[in-house]
Amino acid sequence: MNKLFTLFAVILCFTTAVAQRNFSETQTPASNYTYSKSMSMDTLGMAAFNAAPKAVYLDQNGGYAAGTNSFNDLVKAQSFEITQQSNIREVLFYFAAKVKQAHDSISYLTVAIYAMDGSGISSGNTNTTAPGRILHSRKLLLDSIDTIAGHFTRVRFDWAPTDSSVLNFAVGIDLSHLDTSDKVALLTTKDSNSVKKDMSWEKRSNGQWQTMLQGWPLDLDFAIFPIVDPVLIGVNETTANTTKLSISPNPANDFIELNFAHLNTTTATLKIADQSGKIVYQEPISTESKSLQKFRLNTSNFNPGVYSLSVITAMGSFSKKLVILHQ
């Protein structure tokens, strides 16, 4: 049975957020993290979320639909669909509100990555795939949650899934470790502004997973943004001969050294392209010697990211993935 309540849009957009927040605790501003969808730091869902109106919803007893509330929901989670196995570097959260009692110093959330292999109830009141196994988790102290407008709370994971079939997953906040007098709320898109319905979830007090659209009902997305790096897979050789190419180190910092066998030609071209296909570096290289060739390239001026490095000759070409981190 759906929850019966009166919803109030407390915060309709970023421009009114500060005026609406009147909480008893003193908040410490954190760095304003700004990320965009890019090559090696792909922030899932942020572009679509930013394009939609924002809101925070109260339940009838002063709790938050997207956080702690009078129904004692255990978890709020957002699910994601990806096409390539990826490492989850970190997760960004926009917490729109928190209420913390002065005496409480150990209240915390658990941030978890879930496999989508469980069972839940969809908006159509039918059984569907829901968050299931916990793949990885981190503790997030209530004290470290930042609710300043425009600031994200950042949770570091640096986690690589061992199961290559994990292409659909969810990231959620487990509220069960909060003190009963403490509250948090995630910013959400406004009702009916979700990218896809049935992507936002709650685990109810009875342990049942339901979509937000089934439970409240609200068709929205939580402000939860995993930053992922695609797991590198090999690029097939497109050459007519037995050319071999190696890159070291890879991932790279300030330089790389290329080792490649004789290309049956006296000249070749080195090209490096970003993931959009744009050529960011190009240089002719000599292949006159019949011994193993070596070529050293300064990469200190390259932006961190994932690139395709190719050696191109009249006989064909060979490409490999290059990762630049600048650690």
The CATH number given to whatever domain includes residue 248 is 2.60.40.1930
Per-position DSSP letters for 230-265, written without gaps between them: EPP-PPPPEESS---EEEESSSBSSEEEEEE---SS
- Indicate whether 2 belongs to any domain: no
Dist. CA 293–CA 318, nearest whole Å: 14
186 and 300 share a domain?
no
| C-beta of residue 156 within 8 angstroms of C-beta of residue 111 | no
| pLDDT in the model for residue 325 | 82
- Indicate whether 71 belongs to any domain: yes
| C-beta of residue 121 within 8 angstroms of C-beta of residue 211 | yes
- Indicate whether 1 belongs to any domain: no
Is the pLDDT reported for residue 231 higher than 60?
Answer: no
| pLDDT in the model for residue 32 | 34
| pLDDT in the model for residue 147 | 87
Dist. CA 99–CA 317, nearest whole Å: 60
Phi/psi at 14 (5° precision): -60, -30
Dist. CA 326–CA 301, nearest whole Å: 10
CA dihedral in degrees (198, 204, 207, 213; nearest 10)? -20
HSE-CB for 257 with a 13 A CA cutoff? 6
For range 97-115, the mean pLDDT: 84
175 and 59 share a domain?
yes
Task: Determine the distance from the C-alpha atom of residue 318 to the mean position of all C-alpha atoms in its chain, rounded to a whole number.
Answer: 31
What is the SS3 string spanning 132-156? CCEEEEEEEEHHHCCCCCCCCEEEE
Q: Residue 297: give the domain boundaries.
A: 238-324
- Indicate whether 3 belongs to any domain: no
Is the pLDDT reported for residue 200 higher than 90?
Answer: yes
224 and 245 share a domain?
no
Residue 196 CB partners (closer than 8 Å, separation 6+): none
Token pair recorded at residue 287: 């292949």
Instruction: Give the end of a domain, one of 196, 230, 264.
Output: 230
226 and 245 share a domain?
no
280 and 205 share a domain?
no
Token pair recorded at residue 216: 């409240």
pLDDT tens digit string along 18-33? 222 122 222 222 333 3
For range 253-274, the mean pLDDT: 75
Is the pLDDT reported for residue 79 higher than 90?
Answer: yes
Instruction: Give the end of a domain, one of 168, 201, 230.
Output: 230
Domain count, the chain: 2
Is residue 317 very low, low, confident or very high in pLDDT (cuts 50, 70, 90)? low
| pLDDT in the model for residue 326 | 75
Dist. CA 175–CA 111, nearest whole Å: 9
